[in-house]
Structure 1
Amino acid sequence: MASKEKELNKLRVLIQENLRVQRGGADRVKYIDGGTALVDAISRQNHVVFARRGCGKSLLLHSSAGMLGDGNKAIYLNCEDFKRHSFPNVLIEILDALFGELEAHLWGWFGKKKKSKLLIQKIRQDLASLRQKEDVSEQQVREVEANGSGRSGGADVEVMAPGGAGFKLGAKQEETKKKEIERTFKTRSDKLRDLDNWLPSLKKQIAEFFALSSSVETVLIQVDDFYHLRREDQPFVVDYIHRLCKDVPLYFKVATLKHASILYVDRDGQPIGAQERHDYQPINIDYTLSDFQKTQGQNKRILTEFCRLAGLGANAVPTLFKGEGFSRLVMAGGGVPRDTLSLFLEALRDAQANGDGRIGKDDVRVLSRSNFERRIEELKHDSQTGDHEPLIKGIYVLREFCLEKKTSCFLIAERVLQQDDQFRSLIYRLLDYRIVHNAGTALTHKSHSGSFQAFAIDIGCYAHLRKLQGRMNEVDLSKADAHERLRSAPVLDLTSFQSKWTSVPSDAEARMTNEEVEH
């Protein structure tokens, strides 16, 4: 018994230390690949890694760096370091961080060559000079922001629903987003022009730098958490990185949230950014609830590896759960490994203190509310100024719709998602933040024509509520009949959404997190 407790404590430590990947942390558990992500990530090709928070984007980058063969190296940059920095200085800072990393590894990677050191120092000196150069249009930028036009924050955009009634989804949506990108280009064009003019010379210096090396042939630039950069700046940053890498032995590996990122725009017929399948290949490492068995299998493989390292054995996972405990854990985690593992630690602690040490369905249900609250806090932390308010309003509307219909899942017509950019953007961004989960695509409904996407509201929105005890029509996505049951789920249309949007209370977040809990 003492041995089992010791192994469980070791399991706790291993999981705790690996919930977040960062430099200087504990020895990392390697990325567990259910496909070809690791192979793709080490190849000499540009890639963008897409997944929700907690799915292992950072771990994939770090694990792949350790697999590189002779002559290939990786440099890691985290864009959270540059959060809220203004463009184009943020690009200069990213470039300086890149060449700073190269300078730090100069002798170990490239050998003690004075000319190599001088080249790197010259590049960083040029970047420092450009960084200090005053933006010619800075006063214009301040004036524009002072009078409220082109704000990066919380101005609202009116969206017309069928029938003429409107609802507001916030300033960061399609038309305003395009205007903000155009404003960014015009007001920052002077320093950006200097960067563009310098690019051929910079690439010549990079080529010369690699020519001096007798061992390093390729460097992969790993740009993590790209979504932390201001969305209106993102296409300009990735555009420059893409052009920097072209025809020199550099390749970018960008990791980001898919629906919180703008990687490509068309500006007056001029492409800005990097285009999927043309300029980079996508690596999607997200496991969603739409294929529950596959997602559950991936989460089980990850937990099994932790158990093995803790000395519990490769077959320990089934002994830690009872009944539908594990499938409910994966459901509560939205299929996201970090959320699933974090909930596992809490549930295991409670099960050891108050039960037989095994986790059941009810143990997970009790914890789902706190998990939902953490996701809202992450949303507020990650979203840009003013963005979180319309997102929280959107959560409130979706939650009220599901509580009213007493359903955990709902359908939205593909036609509506395709035709209404702002509505689609709101839904998909809530997917990124794991408030709603993808439960199925290309579904037909038993009573409505057309094709539909299915979504599941996070169980933390309702599982703790006394008033719904025994009354919630919950679709268990782990069951074989889940697909058929989704075909009868209620349909959320724009009219219903707009009607509820207009009555969202000012204290929506507090109402969602302070309701009476069922014990």
Structure 2
Amino acid sequence: MMMNRRPNAYIDMEKFKGHAYPDVLISVLIETFENIEGWLATGAVAPANKKSFWKKLIPRRAPLKRGPAQQLSARIGDYVAELERLLHSYDEAEIQTMRKEEHQADESGKFDLKAQAGPVSAGVGSSVADRSMEQSEVHETLRRSKIDFLHRRVIKYQRTLREVVELAGGNGFILLDDMYYIRRANQPEVLDYFHRLFKGTGLWLKVGTIRHRSSWYKNGDPPLGMKIGDDIDEIDLDLTLEKYRTAKTFLMNVAENVGKKIEIDLRSVLNDGARDRLVLASGGVARDFLSILRRSIAVAHDQAAAKVGVEAVNQATGEHESSKRDEFNRDVLDGTAELEQELDRIKEFCLQRQKKNCFLVEKDLGSVAHERIKELVDLRLIHAVNSRVTVRHRPGRIYEAYMLDISQYAGERKRRNVEIIEFWKTDGREKLRGASLIFAERDSGSLSAV
């Protein structure tokens, strides 16, 4: 985008965590305009030979016209100043205005003067106009509405954004990252405004978030937000354990490329069991894979082991649990207690009752507990391993298979006797079909744990 001199803005939504609506919308709008204003003053017009700005990048297009860019930048700067005043004002405050009015009244009167002189009589007619002035005061009480102000500005903002895109000669991109940090109840309102704001301007809106901690659409009159498939398209960036072999190949390639830079051959460092355990422990997430791998190598080195084995990975995974717990506390804004209770129920089922790392939930269960399980998947404390499992003695029913994250038990010796179901293998897929693994299913219309 920068190399092509296209308008762009990156907004990290975490900094607006806990902000109330509509102030959160105003804050995000301010930062969006500031990003575009900054682009107009730098990337749009900076000469290609200005190495202090471009560094290693080389722009593919000539600078845009400086005069129009400066005019648009100044206009957007005025928008930012206006929005900042609005942000720091009180919403729903009463504003009183007073207007003086003057009224003028004309009153006309007539009178006659008569004079008699002997037999001759003369009459004189005359009129007198009286002009009076009256003053009155009219008091009006208004109520300030921040959201009404923003609605009235949409067309004005759109016009300016279209001019920015026309100046650039091509589409631009706005990225709202980590949308799930915004209060879930307010997400549809924020998305609805930006959807309307950018529509028809040539600016593409991209939103990064956690699926099951996000709300895109709110039904009403009028409806708010965006509908997946109608207004927006969904791009799934997750590489889950459902495609185990693909995930393993990808993660090992990432690790081996990192190893090459420091002249380490990972194939000579990891045994086969450790590789599979690393993939399971990471849940298919590259960041977790590399973090646990680093810890595993350190553990094996301390134990003077020739290679990293399963035990080293288990110990490293247990140490990694504190990092996951910190992320859990940071990422979850509401419903923390409910999610922890659901996780405890799953741990009790897997580790104490069944002593297996996997469990089943009936597909499309539609319960609150099922939604919490999906949120725990997004938080990487549970991992989806198979979206369609048939169970013996449950004809006509389809189940989803999940795996409890290894960090929840690998570090505790008393729980080392948990059976690891190798669901990617033929015999492992057969074990998933056992009715004893059913954690939740419909039972006369209600949720039950088997």
- For this structure pair, what is the TM-score category when the shorter chain's length is used for normalisation? 0.7 to 0.9
Q: Which amino acid aligns with 1:275?
A: K
Distance 2:381 2:40 in 1: 44
Match of 1:250 in 2: 203
2:151 pairs, out of 196, 204, 208, with 196
Q: Which amino acid aligns with 1:257?
A: I
Distance 1:293 1:346 in 2: 23
- Partner deviation per Cα, 1:169-224 (whole Å, 9 max, x = no partner): xxxxxxxxxxxxxxxxxxx993222211210111012223334x2x4522211111
Q: Does 1:406 align with 2:349?
A: no
Distance 1:109 1:377 in 2: 37
Distance 2:209 2:201 in 1: 24
- Which structure has the greater CA radius of gyration? 2
Q: Does 1:305 align with 2:253?
A: no
Match of 2:407 in 1: 460
How far 1:311 moved relative to its partner? 3.9
Alignment of 1:405-484 (within 5 A): 405-415=354-364, 417-418=365-366, 420=367, 422-449=368-395, 450-469=397-416, 471-484=417-430
Q: Which amino acid aligns with 2:179?
A: F
Q: Does 1:351 align with 2:300?
A: yes
Q: Does 1:104 align with 2:7?
A: no
How many residues get paired?
A: 374
Alignment of 1:176-325 (within 5 A): 190-211=145-166, 213=167, 215=168, 217-268=170-221, 270-312=222-264, 316-325=265-274
Distance 1:355 1:239 in 2: 58
TM-score, structure 2 normalization: 0.77
Q: Which amino acid aligns with 1:474?
A: I
Match of 1:34 in 2: none
> Tell me, what secondary structure is at the counterpart of 1:282?
coil
How far 1:125 moved relative to its partner? 2.1
Structure 2 unmatched runs, 5+: 46-65, 95-142
Distance 1:134 1:189 in 2: 8
Q: Does 1:134 align with 2:90?
A: yes
How far 1:499 moved relative to its partner? 8.2
Match of 2:57 in 1: none
Q: Which amino acid aligns with 1:98?
A: T
How far 1:132 moved relative to its partner? 2.7
- The change in CA–CA distance for 1:339 and 1:272 in structure 2 (over 3 A counts) is same
Distance 1:425 1:380 in 2: 19
1:342 pairs, out of 291, 305, 324, with 291
How far 1:86 moved relative to its partner? 1.0
Q: Which amino acid aligns with 1:461?
A: Q
Match of 1:396 in 2: 344
Match of 2:12 in 1: 78
- Partner deviation per Cα, 1:379-438 (whole Å, 9 max, x = no partner): 1121114x21111111111000112111111111114x23x2x12221111111111110
- Contact (CA 8 Å) 1:71, 1:218: kept in 2 or not? no
- The change in CA–CA distance for 1:189 and 1:221 in structure 2 (over 3 A counts) is farther
- Contact (CA 8 Å) 2:244, 2:424: kept in 1 or not? yes
- Partner deviation per Cα, 1:276-315 (whole Å, 9 max, x = no partner): 1211111111111122111111211221221233344xxx
> Tell me, what secondary structure is at the counterpart of 1:481?
helix
1:492 pairs, out of 427, 439, 448, with 439
Structure with the bigger percentage of strand: 2
Q: Which amino acid aligns with 1:424?
A: H
Between stretches 240-249 and 480-489, larger displacement belongs to 480-489
RMSD (Å) for aligned C-alpha atoms: 2.4
Distance 1:494 1:446 in 2: 14
Distance 1:121 1:465 in 2: 57
Distance 2:392 2:3 in 1: 54
Distance 1:447 1:278 in 2: 40
- Contact (CA 8 Å) 1:119, 1:209: kept in 2 or not? no
How far 1:84 moved relative to its partner? 0.6
Distance 2:214 2:204 in 1: 19
Structure with the bigger percentage of helix: 1
- The change in CA–CA distance for 1:327 and 1:430 in structure 2 (over 3 A counts) is same
- Contact (CA 8 Å) 2:321, 2:408: kept in 1 or not? yes
Distance 2:361 2:447 in 1: 14
Q: Which amino acid aligns with 2:311?
A: D
1:376 pairs, out of 311, 314, 325, with 325
Query: Which structure ranks higher in relative contact order (CA pairs < 8 Å, sequence separation ≥ 6)?
Result: 1
TM-score, structure 1 normalization: 0.68
- The change in CA–CA distance for 1:133 and 1:444 in structure 2 (over 3 A counts) is same
Distance 1:378 1:468 in 2: 24
- Contact (CA 8 Å) 1:321, 1:359: kept in 2 or not? yes
- Contact (CA 8 Å) 1:227, 1:256: kept in 2 or not? yes
> Tell me, what secondary structure is at the counterpart of 1:455?
strand
